[in-house]
């Protein structure tokens, strides 16, 4: 088991390394001139040359990439003309906009993204697993058909449409909820939850459709298995059969999918954060793309990529742990 | 196509009312998109002219009149802030949404089939390299990468083409995996072995023996890709990095609508309804096509295998844009 987990995580690290090469090549080598972007629109040739020196853009490509990797692993120093600015590990460079280390920018936004992701997760698990279970137990009936249509609708609706409709209903028409502004949990827990309720709901409605389908199919599979029939034949109460045994069979895939989704969310829910104006990692990426702030783009993409790739590895390990029938190779 | 008819695919598709309705909706939509210049000429409007007289500048540019200025001149009202005609903008938006969704699917299928065939049919080394490459591509958060890629492309590059390329290049992994798996199992069949032993070159075997057999699974998967791509296009445009004004797409309109949802609900509801109905129609049709093309699906008693359902869920995971 430990061996499998280590191999799977090792594989994830290799993917991450390849990702860093790919991202680096794409953004620093392809079109455009990083020095011109870093310097700003009103720079003359002399100033651009200075920036090139500072950022080491005249060195061979491999050297540049190694410096970048070194920065990620152990930090890096930048000369600012007047002094030296140390960028702590993991260092993804400095923002072109305000010379702030990318890592600081990212970590300042992590609480927002984490609040959004974790709250939404609780909602989508309750909603999705509940719906899926109900749909599996009422197989063939009207309830199942209604639930199938609802989950299909849920998947077909992009999150910004659901979000806009929620805003129109609860914010503009009924005026029950404020237009979301992020209030830190440590400052005012009640306002924190109140403001995040709409974004959580929008995300949960989208995600829960997936969980409903997964729970439904997994529960049906388990219910068709021999040991369930044996339990029933022994006269175990139906509530116990479903609550304890059928649900257990449905759990491994749900746990695995949840790990993947949570990883993606931690990388930032770009659309949700943009719609509701939440200053999370996803919004940071969108803003930095609009202002062509390459170090922030690269840092955010790598951070998000890391979250997603590691979550995938964790999901596989969790799946294997939760389901004894999976043979490990 | 004759292969498909013989297996009764059309008959089975027609037997499902939901599939027929979805196909009809999409046919109407395609007509609207193709006839956009004609229809907006019929209305007497175009998608880019500003109508300052139709918006209330004292209230920040909210359209005058009820429901976003719906009337005889402007059938679906005008855009808040600019007064551009909404009917025309929705029609031209449909063109972009469909063009990008279908174009990106073509790119994905071409790349996916090529790489999948090469991996399944090539040497073990080729297979390993290509399969690992596919793994990396599948692991990438597609929307994140799409967003980031647009940062390094010059601003004057045509946006619909850029969207087709970006979406197409980033998510061919699923197609490639399916084609590889199919090729590996087809390779073992006698008729393929016969063709190889008969001295046909690999390329000829791939084209004449394998490709026809790959049609059904590839079509099935492509049908799922279309609505996904449509959502990705709308998402990128919603984030302000896809289609930009004065051009319109439904996602771009929804992006502007975020500032107007209080004052002008019509402006939110129209593009949202268009996008929702189209994506739903494509999804329903794709689902029906999958059922019609898969003989096993005919049995209502079928209980999916664990691996199968999990694989399917994995494939949809990437589609969810958050």
**Residue A104, C-beta contacts closer than 8 angstroms, at least 6 positions apart:** none
3-class SS of residue A80: coil
Q: Do A253 and B303 touch (CB under 8 A)?
A: no
**Residue A136, C-beta contacts closer than 8 angstroms, at least 6 positions apart:** A215, A216, A219, A220, A223
Q: Do B320 and A210 touch (CB under 8 A)?
A: yes
> Would you tell me how many other CB atoms lie within 10 Å of the CB of residue A171?
17
Q: Considering CB atoms only, which of A159, A172, A297 is closest to B321?
A: A159
Contacts of B154 in chain A (CB under 8 A): 31-32
Q: What is the mean pLDDT of chain B?
A: 81
**Among all residues of chain B, which has the CA nearest to that of A273?**
B322
| Count of A-B CB contacts under 8 Å | 168
Instruction: Please write the tens of the pLDDT for every residue from A90-148.
Output: 778 788 777 788 888 998 999 999 999 999 999 999 999 888 888 888 777 777 777 77
Give the angle subtended at the CA of B247 by the CAs of B243 and B250, to the nearest 5°.
Answer: 60
Let me know if residue B308 belongs to a domain.
no
Contacts of B316 in chain A (CB under 8 A): 155, 210
Contacts of A258 in chain B (CB under 8 A): none
Q: A73 to chain B, minimum CA–CA distance in Å?
A: 22
> Would you tell me how many other CB atoms lie within 10 Å of the CB of residue B156?
6
What total number of domains does chain B contain?
A: 1
Q: Are B144 and A305 in contact (CB under 8 A)?
A: yes
Start-to-end C-alpha separation, chain B: 37
Let me know if residue B313 belongs to a domain.
no
Containing A84, the helix (H) or strand (E) segment is strand A84-87
pLDDT band for A263, please (50, 70, 90 cuts): confident
pLDDT band for A24, please (50, 70, 90 cuts): confident
Q: Do B283 and A305 touch (CB under 8 A)?
A: no
Q: Do A261 and B241 touch (CB under 8 A)?
A: no
Instruction: Please write the tens of the pLDDT for every residue from B123-177.
Output: 889 988 898 888 878 877 788 888 888 777 777 788 889 899 999 988 898 899 9
| Region of poorest pLDDT, from A168-182, A276-290, B265-279 | A168-182
Contacts of B144 in chain A (CB under 8 A): 267-268, 270, 285, 300-301, 304-305
Q: Considering CB atoms only, which of B149, B283, B313 is closest to A210?
A: B313
Q: B183 to chain A, minimum CA–CA distance in Å?
A: 24
| Region of poorest pLDDT, from A38-52, A163-177, A214-228, A240-254 | A38-52
pLDDT band for B305, please (50, 70, 90 cuts): very low
pTM of the shown model: 0.84
CATH label of the domain that carries residue B173 = 1.10.3720.10
> Would you tell me how many other CB atoms lie within 10 Å of the CB of residue B295?
12
Q: Considering CB atoms only, which of B241, B254, B279 is closest to A289?
A: B241
Contacts of B258 in chain A (CB under 8 A): 160, 164, 275
Query: Does position B308 have pLDDT exceeding 50, yes or no?
Result: no
| Of A172, A139, A173, A43, the residue nearest A96 (C-alpha) | A43
Contacts of A27 in chain B (CB under 8 A): 148, 151-152
Query: Does position B299 have pLDDT exceeding 50, yes or no?
Result: no
Let me know if residue B40 belongs to a domain.
yes
Question: Residue A58: left (phi > 0), alpha (psi -120 to 50), or beta?
Answer: alpha
Per this entry, what is the length of chain A? 329
3-class SS of residue B50: coil
Let me know if residue B304 belongs to a domain.
no
State the residue for tokens 């990705």: B232
Q: Considering CB atoms only, which of B304, B319, B322 is closest to A271?
A: B322
Q: A285 to chain B, minimum CA–CA distance in Å?
A: 8
**In whole angstroms, what is the distance from residue B170 CA to residue B176 CA?**
12
Contacts of B311 in chain A (CB under 8 A): none
Let me know if residue B293 belongs to a domain.
yes
Look up the ipTM and state it.
Answer: 0.82
CA B114 to each of CA A202, A247, B111, B117, B222: distance values in angstroms, whole numbers, following the listed order: 38, 42, 5, 5, 15
Q: Do A161 and B141 touch (CB under 8 A)?
A: no
| Region of poorest pLDDT, from A156-160, A228-232, B136-140 | B136-140
Give the angle subtended at the CA of A173 by the CAs of B267 and A189, to the nearest 5°.
Answer: 115
pLDDT of the residue at A123: 93
Let me know if residue B159 belongs to a domain.
yes
């Amino acid at each position: 088991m430990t061996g499998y987990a280590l191999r799977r995580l090792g594989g994830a690290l290799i993917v991450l390394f390849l990702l860093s090469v790919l991202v680096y090549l794409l953004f620093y080598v392809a079109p455009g001139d990083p020095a011109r972007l870093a310097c700003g629109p009103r720079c003359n040739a002399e100033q651009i040359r200075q920036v090139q020196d500072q950022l080491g853009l005249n060195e061979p490509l491999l050297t540049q990439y190694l410096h970048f990797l070194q920065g990620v692993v152990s930090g890096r120093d930048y000369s600012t003309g007047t002094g030296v600015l140390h960028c702590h590990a993991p260092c993804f460079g400095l923002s072109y906009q305000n010379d702030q280390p990318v890592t600081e920018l990212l970590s300042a936004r992590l609480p927002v993204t984490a609040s959004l992701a974790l709250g939404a997760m609780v909602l989508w698990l309750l909603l999705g697993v509940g719906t899926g279970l109900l749909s599996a137990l009422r197989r063939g009936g009207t309830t199942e058909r209604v639930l199938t249509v609802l989950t299909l609708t849920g998947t077909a609706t992009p999150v910004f449409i659901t979000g806009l409709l929620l805003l129109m209903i609860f914010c503009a028409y009924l005026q029950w909820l404020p237009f979301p502004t992020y209030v830190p949990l440590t400052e005012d827990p009640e306002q924190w939850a109140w403001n995040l309720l709409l974004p959580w709901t929008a995300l949960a409605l989208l995600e829960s459709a997936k969980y409903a389908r997964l729970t439904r199919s997994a529960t049906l599979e388990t219910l068709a298995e021999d040991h369930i029939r044996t339990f029933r034949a022994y006269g175990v109460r139906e509530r116990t059969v479903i609550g304890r045994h059928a649900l257990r069979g449905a759990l491994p895939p749900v746990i695995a999918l949840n790990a993947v989704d949570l990883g993606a969310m931690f990388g930032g829910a770009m659309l949700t954060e943009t719609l509701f104006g939440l200053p999370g990692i996803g919004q940071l990426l969108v803003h930095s793309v609009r202002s062509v702030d390459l170090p922030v783009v690269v840092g955010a993409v790598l951070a998000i990529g890391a979250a997603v790739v590691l979550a995938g590895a964790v999901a596989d390990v969790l799946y294997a742990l939760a389901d004894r029938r999976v043979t490990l190779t | 196509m004759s292969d498909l008819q013989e297996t009764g695919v059309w008959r089975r598709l027609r037997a499902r009312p939901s599939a027929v309705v979805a196909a009809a909706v999409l046919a109407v939509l395609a007509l609207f998109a193709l006839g956009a210049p004609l229809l907006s000429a019929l209305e007497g409007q175009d998608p880019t002219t500003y109508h300052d007289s139709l918006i209330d500048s004292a209230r920040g540019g909210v359209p005058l009149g009820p429901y976003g200025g719906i009337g005889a001149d402007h059938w679906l009202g005008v855009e808040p802030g600019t007064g551009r005609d909404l009917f025309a903008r929705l029609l031209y938006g449909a063109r972009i949404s469909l063009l990008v969704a279908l174009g990106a699917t073509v790119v994905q299928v071409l790349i996916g089939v090529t790489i999948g065939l090469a991996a399944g049919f090539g040497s073990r080394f080729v297979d390993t390299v290509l399969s690992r490459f596919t793994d990396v591509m599948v692991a990438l958060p597609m929307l994140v990468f799409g967003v980031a890629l647009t940062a390094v492309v010059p601003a004057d590059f045509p946006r619909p083409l850029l969207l087709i390329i970006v979406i197409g290049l980033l998510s061919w992994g699923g197609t490639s995996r399916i084609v590889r798996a199919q090729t590996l199992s087809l390779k073992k069949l006698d008729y393929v072995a016969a063709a190889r032993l008969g001295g046909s070159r690999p390329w000829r075997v791939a084209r004449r023996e394998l490709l026809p057999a790959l049609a059904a699974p590839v079509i099935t998967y492509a049908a799922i890709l279309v609505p996904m791509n449509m959502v990705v296009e709308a998402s990128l445009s919603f984030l302000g990095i896809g289609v930009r004004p004065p051009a319109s797409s439904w996602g771009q309109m929804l992006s502007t609508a975020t500032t107007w949802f209080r004052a002008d609900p019509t402006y939110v509801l129209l593009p949202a309804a268009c996008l929702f109905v189209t994506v739903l129609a494509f999804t329903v049709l794709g689902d029906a096509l999958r059922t019609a093309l898969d003989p096993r699906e005919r049995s209502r008693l079928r209980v999916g295998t664990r691996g199968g359902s999990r694989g399917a869920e994995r494939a949809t995971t990437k589609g969810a844009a958050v």
